[in-house]
Amino acid sequence: MPQRGRPRGFDADEVLERALEVFWRYGYEGASVNDLAAAMGINKPSLYAAFGGKEELFRKVVARYADEDMEYARRAFAEPTAYEVVATLLRENVLAVTRDDRPAGCLSIQGGTACSTENAPVAEFLAASRLAGERALADRFASAVVEGDLPADADPAALARFVMSVTEGQAIHAAAGVSREDLRQTAEIALVGFAAASGARLPEHTANPA
């Protein structure tokens, strides 16, 4: 009897990349196990043996997405001032949601904003992931208040909610076909709004988007 499991030459990174494309294009519910297995170049028994099931595979794909496609957010958080954090985050987000080599938009939005009752844990998982990013941004702004980079009366949680609402909205617009240039205009307007609402200390020379 043949042994079930990973096929010879199985490359986990490669098959996760292929699965990411399917989930991103069709969402969690729209991506069937048959479609995933075909895109990954493995059979269904191998998929289950290697990843445990569709939901487990999706969670691994989201983790890969966070590590690879969201790397720009980690770079943004490392910027020295709150203004530069937001400028980098908004501008790099525009590039990320309009890449030629990816589906337009964002996996965490298209993957399963709304799911059936059966798949509610998937929608909850994605919502929790987005809120974790918002809390991390609020923590970064709280540090900016302590450092004197933002004024003492700034509201880190409200500012983080505003910035994340913009980036998530940009992803939805990108998926609807809005151009990169139009999204850049929105990002610059949002950056002006952030600066005005937060009282952020501006760099001596604010860079215009390329």
Range 168-174 average pLDDT = 95
Q: Is the pLDDT of residue 187 over 70?
A: yes
Whether residue 202 contacts residue 83, with contact meaning beta carbons closer than 8 Å, is answered with yes
Q: What is the pLDDT of residues 21-43, one digit of tens each?
A: 999 988 888 899 999 999 999 88
Q: What is the pLDDT of residues 72-120, one digit of tens each?
A: 999 999 999 999 999 999 999 999 999 999 999 999 887 776 667 777 8
Question: What is the residue-wise DSSP string for 130-181?
Answer: HHHHHHHHHHHHHHHHHHTSS-TT--HHHHHHHHHHHHHHHHHHHHTT--HH
134 closest CA partner among 126, 17, 117, 177: 126
Q: Distance between CA 38 and CA 51 in Å, rounded?
A: 15
Measured between alpha carbons, how far is residue 37 from residues 11, 48, 53, 132, 188 in Å?
A: 14, 10, 11, 30, 41
The pTM of the full predicted model, rounded to 2 decimals, is 0.85
- Please report the pLDDT score of residue 121 as a whole number: 87
Q: Distance between CA 176 and CA 11 in Å, rounded?
A: 33
In single-letter form, the type of residue at position 163 comes to V
- Please report the pLDDT score of residue 119 as a whole number: 78
Burial class of 144 by CB neighbour count within 10 A (0 to 12, 13 to 18, 19+): buried
3-state secondary structure of 201: coil
Q: Distance between CA 110 and CA 134 in Å, rounded?
A: 18
Q: Is the pLDDT of residue 204 over 50?
A: yes
pLDDT confidence bin for 205, thresholds 50/70/90: low
| Proportion of the chain above pLDDT 70, given as a percent | 90
Range 8-12 average pLDDT = 66
> Six-digit token pair at 95?
């590039």
- Please report the pLDDT score of residue 208 as a whole number: 47
Q: What is the pLDDT of residues 45-69, one digit of tens each?
A: 988 888 989 999 999 999 999 999 9
Q: Is the pLDDT of residue 150 over 80?
A: yes
Dihedral class, residue 183 (left if φ above 0, else alpha if ψ from -120 to 50, else beta): alpha
Only one residue has tokens 């997405």, namely: 65
| Proportion of the chain above pLDDT 90, given as a percent | 68
- Please report the pLDDT score of residue 118 as a whole number: 78
Range 134-146 average pLDDT = 98
Round the average pLDDT of the chain to a whole number and report it: 89
pLDDT confidence bin for 1, thresholds 50/70/90: very low
Only one residue has tokens 């990320």, namely: 96
Measured between alpha carbons, how far is residue 80 from residues 38, 97, 133, 161 in Å?
A: 45, 25, 19, 20
Higher pLDDT, 145 or 10: 145
